[in-house]
């Protein structure tokens, strides 16, 4: 425990290393302590700052150990108080963590998903709060219209739209049916197009924010995820165009790019035949938590960032791919394949 506290002290002493969280430090250290006994080692220290000399070998992965060095603090901000925030896919994973973080801040939330039971659970948990939830599949224009229009009817308008709903895939192009790629595009890309277009006038009126939850896969194509990468590249390019169109309106258009984050996304990822693969090829416990991811997304929205890559390994990947693309091809392949087989 002393070692962990001294790490925190070191971190706190380095200007600019910490996000400007508000609130009080909670005894997160104790929870982590229960999971794994830690002893000091220079390797551990280096890893926690992602200073590996071979950053891409640790591609996108935020070690769980990182949490030992961050003061896990409840992110609270006045900024979201009374704001109407529409989040697609708020019943699970990162979207759910966004809802959980925003409700205590006094935001008026609207969310959607395909599965009624998951939304019902959410509604039960927040029965005394301002939460509007509706079953909607964002790949269908009519569902998006119901979601956005009912949100505007309920709250009078929309300040912030977070295009979060998304699915992934895991199948090599040689095996994958084309429908798999189309489905991923329909949800991840066209879902963003439909909801943004439908909410646009209200967001312009309120000089609000349009955000997309993209991915590192939107900067660097990943094997086995060709449709997913395509959908996120498309989302980034589309939002960049819209951002430019809206520059003088007071609306901020942005996208954030998480690395691997603990959630249901890999279980739900489509296999070559278009069915959920039902397992994760990664050790989920080692990934960034959805809560941490949500905190960073909300900070980026509050600061009206243009884009944000959420992890240092993600930033390294984006950098490497921009300046050393051929080398990055090899490193990415090495990360995802073993003995010629796609294993991640």
Which sequence positions are flagged as catalytic?
A: 214, 228, 232
DSSP sequence for 46-71: HHHTT--SSGGGGTT---TTHHHHS-
Residue 62 makes contact with ligand NAP by CB under 6 A:
no
Which alpha helices (H) appear in the chain, and where do they start and end?
2-13, 28-35, 42-48, 66-69, 93-102, 116-125, 141-155, 178-185, 191-205, 226-245, 265-268, 290-302, 312-323, 325-336
Binding ligand NAP by CB under 6 A: which of 258, 308, 321, 331? 258
Which listed residue (58, 118, 170, 315) binds ligand NAP by CB under 6 A? 118
In the complex with ligand NAP, the residue whose CB is nearer, 29 or 151, is 151
Angstrom distances, CA of residue 259 to CA of 65, 218, 234, 340: 16, 10, 17, 24
| Residue among 226 and 263 whose Cβ is closer to ligand NAP | 263
C-alpha to C-alpha distance for 242 and 144, rounded to whole angstroms: 19
What phi and psi values does residue 133 have, to the nearest 5 degrees?
Answer: -130, 150
Stretch that binds ligand NAP, among 22-30, 110-118, 202-210, 320-328 (CB under 6 A): 110-118
Question: Cβ 15 to ligand NAP, closest distance in Å?
Answer: 29
The reply to whether 93 sits near ligand NAP by the rule CB under 6 A is: yes
- Residues 6 or more apart whose CB falls under 8 angstroms from that of 89 comprise 95, 111, 112, 113, 138, 164, 165, 166
Query: Binders of ligand NAP: how many residues, by CB under 6 A?
Result: 31
Asked if 123 and 109 count as a contact pair (C-beta separation under 8 A), the reply is no
Task: Indicate the length of the chain as a whole number.
Answer: 344
Q: Is 147 in the site for ligand NAP (CB under 6 A)?
A: no
Nearest CA-CA partner of 316 in 56, 45, 66: 56
Residue 7 or 50: the one with the smaller Cβ distance to ligand NAP is 50
Asked whether position 114 contacts ligand NAP by CB under 6 A, the answer is: yes
Q: How far is the CB of 7 from ligand NAP (least distance, A)?
A: 26
d(CA 207, CA 304): 12
Dmax (CA) of the chain: 57
Please identify which residue in 213, 230, 242, 309 interacts with ligand NAP, judged by CB under 6 A: 213
Per-residue interface string for the shown chain with ligand NAP, residues 178-207, x marking contact by CB under 6 A: ---------xx-------------------
268 lies in the site for ligand NAP, by CB under 6 A:
yes
Interacting residue with ligand NAP among 66, 209, 252, 264 (CB under 6 A): 264
Counting contacts by CB under 6 A, is residue 137 touching ligand NAP?
A: yes
Residue in 209, 263, 317, 321 binding ligand NAP, rule: CB under 6 A: 263
How big is the CA angle at 83 (ends 78 and 84), to the nearest 5 degrees?
A: 155
Nearer Cβ to ligand NAP, position 29 or 230? 230
| Residue 224 near ligand NAP by CB under 6 A | no
Residue number with CB closer to ligand NAP (48 or 261): 261
SS3 at position 229:
helix
Out of 87, 165, 195, 210, point to the residue binding ligand NAP (CB under 6 A).
165
Interface residues with ligand NAP (CB under 6 A)?
Answer: 88-89, 91-95, 112-115, 118, 136-139, 164-167, 187-188, 213, 215, 258, 260-261, 263-265, 268
């Amino acid at each position: 425990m002393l070692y962990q506290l001294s790490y925190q002290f070191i971190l706190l002493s380095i200007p600019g290393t910490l996000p400007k969280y508000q609130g009080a430090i909670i005894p997160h250290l104790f929870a982590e302590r229960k999971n794994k006994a830690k002893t000091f080692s220079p390797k551990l220290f280096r890893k926690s700052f992602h200073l590996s000399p071979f950053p891409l070998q640790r591609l996108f992965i935020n070690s769980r150990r990182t949490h030992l060095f961050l003061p896990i603090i409840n992110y609270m901000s006045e900024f979201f108080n009374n704001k109407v925030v529409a989040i697609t896919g708020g019943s699970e994973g990162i979207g759910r963590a966004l809802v959980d973080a925003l409700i205590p801040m006094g935001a008026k939330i609207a969310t959607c998903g395909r599965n009624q039971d998951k939304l019902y659970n959410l509604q039960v948990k927040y029965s005394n709060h301002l939460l509007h939830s509706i079953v909607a599949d964002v790949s269908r224009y009519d569902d998006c219209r119901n979601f956005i229009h009912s949100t505007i009817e309920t709250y009078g308008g929309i300040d912030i739209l977070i295009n979060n709903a998304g699915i992934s895939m895991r199948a090599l192009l040689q095996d994958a049916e084309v429908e798999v790629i189309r489905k991923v595009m329909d949800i991840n890309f066209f879902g963003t197009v439909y909801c943004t277009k439908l909410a646009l006038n209200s967001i312009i009126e309120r000089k609000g924010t349009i955000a997309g939850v993209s991915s590192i896969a939107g900067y660097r194509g990943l094997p086995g995820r060709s449709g997913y990468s395509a959908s996120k590249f498309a989302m980034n390019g589309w939002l960049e165009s819209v951002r430019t169109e809206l520059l003088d309106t007071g609306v901020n258009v942005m996208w954030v790019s998480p690395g691997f984050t603990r959630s249901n996304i890999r279980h739900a990822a489509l296999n070559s035949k278009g069915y959920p693969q039902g397992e994760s090829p990664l050790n989920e416990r080692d990934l960034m938590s959805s809560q941490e991811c949500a905190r960073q997304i909300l900070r980026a929205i509050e600061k009206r960032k243009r884009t944000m890559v959420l992890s240092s390994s993600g930033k390294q990947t984006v950098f490497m791919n921009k300046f050393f693309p051929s080398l990055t091809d090899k490193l990415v392949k090495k990360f995802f394949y073993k003995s010629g087989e796609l294993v991640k």
